[in-house]
Structure 1
Amino acid sequence: MSVNAIKSVELPLSEALLAEARDLKLDVAGAAEDGIMRAVKAEKERLWRLENAEAIQAANDYVEKYGLPLAKFRLF
């Protein structure tokens, strides 16, 4: 499926929330898509941090023990 392909789906939503969104003239489908995109991005970031936790910790340990590798060249 193409990244830009559109698929209609049914989502259970609170009637009150949907009514309020419509009263405010919000693009409900766009808001749902935006929310899902944000959730997907956040989950990918969380998984990346978990998968790379050991390497991140090793890098942090190195800097703690030896300092930044090029610190002597920093101008700030």
Structure 2
Amino acid sequence: MARAATAGARKATNVTLPVDVYERARELGINFSRTCEQALREAIRTEEGRRWAQENAEFIRNTNEWIEKNGLPLAEYRVF
């Protein structure tokens, strides 16, 4: 599934790296484009999650307060 997401149009870009990182990665045969793409996708997921939590902080806080006061909805039907 992740491969299908990467099969689309590509954009060439320049990346500036410290010389030691560049040389060591090249020695190890690390694919620069794939590694940068994976790292950026993870950074994007992390940042989107952080922003979502920030944007919804009031709702989350209110929901948690309601649950503390009233308990979990349908808790009486839980089997665990």
Query: TM-score, with normalisation over the residues of structure 1?
Result: 0.92
Which runs of 5 or more residues in structure 2 are unaligned? 1-5
Report the RMSD for the aligned CA atoms in angstroms.
1.1
Which runs of 5 or more residues in structure 1 are unaligned? none
**1:64 aligned partner:** 68
> Residues 17-64 of structure 1: CA distance to partner in whole angstroms, max 9, x if unpaired?
011111111111110111111111111100000000000011100110
**2:28 aligned partner:** 24
Query: TM-score, with normalisation over the residues of structure 2?
Result: 0.88
> How many percent of aligned residue pairs carry the same amino acid?
35
Which one-letter code corresponds to 1:23 in the other structure? E
Q: Aligned residue pairs: how many?
A: 74
